[in-house]
Amino acid sequence: MNTYSRNIRPDIRQLDDAAINRIAAGEVVERPASAVKELMENAIDAGARRIDVAIAEGGKSLIRVADDGCGIAPDQLPLALARHATSKIDGDNLLDIHTFGFRGEALPSLGAVGRLTITSRAHGQDGARIAVSGGQMGKVAPAALNTGTVVELRDLFHATPARLKFLRSDRAETQAITDVVKRLAMAEPFISFSLRDVSGGGEGRVSFRADAETGDMFDALRGRLARILGADFAQNALPIDAQREGLHLTGYAALPTYSRGSAVAQFLFVNGRPVRDKLLVGALRGAYHDFLSRDRHPAAALFLDCDPKLVDVNVHPAKSEVRFRDPGLARGLIVSALRHALAEAGHRASSTVANATLGAFRSESDENSLRMYQTGASPPGARAAAYPAQAPGFAELGAEYSARVEPPTWAHSSTDDAPSESTADGLPLGAARAQLHENYIVAQTADGMVIVDQHAAHERLVYEKLKRQLAESGVAAQALLIPEIVEMSENDSARLLEHAEDLARLGLVIEPFGGGAVAVRETPALLGNIDARAMVLDIVDELTDQGESLSVQARLEAILSRVACHGSVRSGRRMGADEMNALLREMEATPHSGQCNHGRPTYVELKLADIERLFGRS
């Protein structure tokens, strides 16, 4: 309720600098992690090759960021704490920004809500220190320091104690700081980073360290991502390198079978700046929508670089949001580049599938205990002769067991297209040796074995064939006897009609009907009888939220997926060796055949060394 009476006119007055800085701090410094981000970005802008971060009590009592950058001259220290004072830009062009920082708000905001000390030494000059507490600046004093800068922030939000109540536990704040350090470490693989928790005093504990990488940009980035996201990500990620009209996309995107239960492994950067942009996240989700179910999320680290004039980073004080001059171009580049990389991966599935399989096989007993029974490797002839004695009666088990071994058809065939024993082992998915439980094909490769889910694999093959046919012949449309009139706002109608041509190619024909209404004339025949009004409104919602709609395409592909499921080889069907090998060869030749229509793997590959390790032979 307004406390002012209508008869009283309040005076307009200028706020003092301390109040202005505290207000600005509410936008720039949301939590300790925000302070760490601002200070690390300043260090990167200063050309640092090493950045060391130390925190205590989740950053609430201490944040210290030390770098070996260019430093600050003594006479420049007071100016560094002045509001909107910066060395990054001259103010002439806010659309030509090449640095992380440019607003000149971080240091004065931190000094307004905490106790801030800056110690710095520029090359060829003496070291100096300046302190500010609660907005009150001290004098510049001499200090001993090597080249670089150390910024120390103590008692964050002591000047605004109400903000302390909104902070989370020390553990949660520490995790948020760790995430910030890791994101910036991904963006700068040639810089060394460390994070140390000094809670309780002393040297503390190093919780994260990443030394500077060497090599070209892709090798350095791969090494840094392996250090931060783990070796599994590096092993199962596809390199991305694509350009279009001034935009350059690089990075790594994981195979669909290396998916996650949430979006925690999605890292997006624009001109090296970590961002959380719904346009880019939507593009990443759209690129994988045909390979993952709704409850699975892709893993990726993508870097979009362009002329700074093509993107506006001055959208929010935290600089975590961006606005592209041509958002459709950025989105289209991400989708096309990722889909091309996934297609190039062919039948490949993630190595973590095999690791999970081995984990399921492994005995609960200590693996070392198996080795005491292994007295030495027997020659192949002795092992072959021992098999009948070890499994008496195996040949007489009968047809009620599906774990039967069938000789490959080419063993008794002289046709030219039958693979020989020597070439069969050179095939990526090997040569079929058996079928288990009328559903799983066992194939032998050059250095191991492959187990294929015949139904899931054939389902994917049929689905890809149906998609190719749909793309070649187009989508048949069925005309409605009575057009469906859908009422909406004029803005929504205009946004929808902008995409009318794209929707028509998918079999959905719409026309303006006056005001904000549109008329639905035709719908995709493959969908049968549908609620045209509900579908159109869903499309409008997607266009408003993401700038592009996948509703019609997703529905068509869902129909194709169901058709593929019913038209594929069923579980429980016995297959001959020729059929099994034909399926393996088709998988090798078909993109995306490493996962089914829901993102689950269609096959598991086990290396011979891993199998031998299970039996204590290693």
Q: Each residue of 92-132: pLDDT tens digit?
A: 555 556 566 555 577 888 888 889 999 999 988 999 999 99
pLDDT band at 551 (very low <50, low <70, confident <90, very high): low
- For residue 448, give the CATH number of its domain: 3.30.1540.20
Residue 163 sits in the same domain as residue 233: no
pLDDT band at 378 (very low <50, low <70, confident <90, very high): very low
**Of residues 542 and 133, which shows the higher confidence score?**
133
Which of 312, 328, 344 represents a domain boundary (last residue)? 344
Residue 84 sits in the same domain as residue 229: no
212/224 Cα distance (integer angstroms): 8
Residue 597 sits in the same domain as residue 463: yes
Residue 431 sits in the same domain as residue 305: no
- Axis crossing angle, helix 577-589 with helix 454-473, rounded to the nearest 10: 50
Residue 442 CA, chain-centre distance (Å), reads 33
Closest CA to 452 of 469, 437, 470, 467: 437
Whether 417 maps to a domain, the answer reads yes
**Of residues 114 and 88, which shows the higher confidence score?**
114
Max mean pLDDT among 14-23, 180-189, 401-410, 500-509 falls in: 180-189
Whether 388 maps to a domain, the answer reads no
pLDDT of 390-446, one tens digit each?
Answer: 444 434 434 444 444 445 444 444 444 445 444 455 688 989 999 998 889 999 988
Whether 372 maps to a domain, the answer reads no
Least confident stretch, 116-130, 169-183, 355-369, 446-460: 355-369
Residue 437 sits in the same domain as residue 574: yes
**Of residues 317 and 376, which shows the higher confidence score?**
317
The predicted pLDDT at position 244 comes to 93
The predicted pLDDT at position 373 comes to 40
Q: Are 496 and 518 in contact (CB under 8 A)?
A: yes
To the nearest whole percent, how much of the chain has pLDDT over 70?
75
Whether 23 maps to a domain, the answer reads yes
Residue 257 sits in the same domain as residue 119: no
Whether 506 maps to a domain, the answer reads yes
Into how many domains does the chain fold?
Answer: 3
The predicted pLDDT at position 566 comes to 62
Cβ atoms < 10 Å from Cβ of 316: 12
- Average pLDDT score over the chain: 80
Max mean pLDDT among 13-17, 96-100, 135-139, 428-432 falls in: 428-432
- For residue 198, give the CATH number of its domain: 3.30.565.10
Least confident stretch, 91-105, 278-292, 450-464: 91-105
The predicted pLDDT at position 163 comes to 75
What is the pTM for the complete model shown?
0.71
Max mean pLDDT among 12-21, 169-178, 442-451, 498-507 falls in: 169-178
Residue 428 sits in the same domain as residue 513: yes
Max mean pLDDT among 77-91, 401-415, 553-567, 593-607 falls in: 593-607
Which of 156, 187, 210 represents a domain boundary (last residue)? 210
Whether 393 maps to a domain, the answer reads no
The predicted pLDDT at position 614 comes to 78
> What domain range includes position 604?
399-618
> Which two three-digit tokens encode residue 496?
């929808």
125 to 71, 79, 148, 408, 617: CA distances (angstroms):
10, 17, 11, 80, 65
Residue 190 sits in the same domain as residue 264: no
- For residue 221, give the CATH number of its domain: 3.30.230.10
Max mean pLDDT among 5-14, 36-45, 99-108, 184-193 falls in: 184-193
Starting at the edge strand found earlier in the chain, the sheet holding 603-607 runs: 404-405, 431-436, 440-445, 448-453, 603-607
404/383 Cα distance (integer angstroms): 20
Amino acid at 205: R
Max mean pLDDT among 90-99, 543-552, 606-615 falls in: 606-615
pLDDT band at 21 (very low <50, low <70, confident <90, very high): low
Cβ atoms < 10 Å from Cβ of 109: 28
Residue 613 sits in the same domain as residue 494: yes
pLDDT of 414-429, one tens digit each?
Answer: 444 445 444 455 688 9
Instruction: Please state the rounded mean pLDDT for residues 341-352.
Output: 78
Residue 407 sits in the same domain as residue 524: yes
Whether 370 maps to a domain, the answer reads no
Which residue in this structure is represented by tokens 């034909």?
Answer: 582
Instruction: Please state the rounded mean pLDDT for residues 360-367.
Output: 53
**Of residues 395 and 182, which shows the higher confidence score?**
182
> Which two three-digit tokens encode residue 428?
């990526």
**Of residues 315 and 185, which shows the higher confidence score?**
185
Which of 328, 344, 360 represents a domain boundary (last residue)? 344
Write out 103-116 in H/E/C secondary structure.
CCCHHHHHHHHCEE
The predicted pLDDT at position 101 comes to 54
> Which two three-digit tokens encode residue 442?
């066992």
Closest CA to 286 of 250, 344, 338, 350: 338
Least confident stretch, 123-132, 188-197, 322-331, 538-547: 538-547
345/237 Cα distance (integer angstroms): 10
Query: How many angstroms separate the first and last alpha carbons of the chain?
Result: 77
Sequence-separated (6 or more) residues with CB below 8 Å from residue 448: 605, 606, 607, 608, 609, 610, 611
Residue 193 sits in the same domain as residue 232: no
Whether 378 maps to a domain, the answer reads no
Residue 241 sits in the same domain as residue 196: no
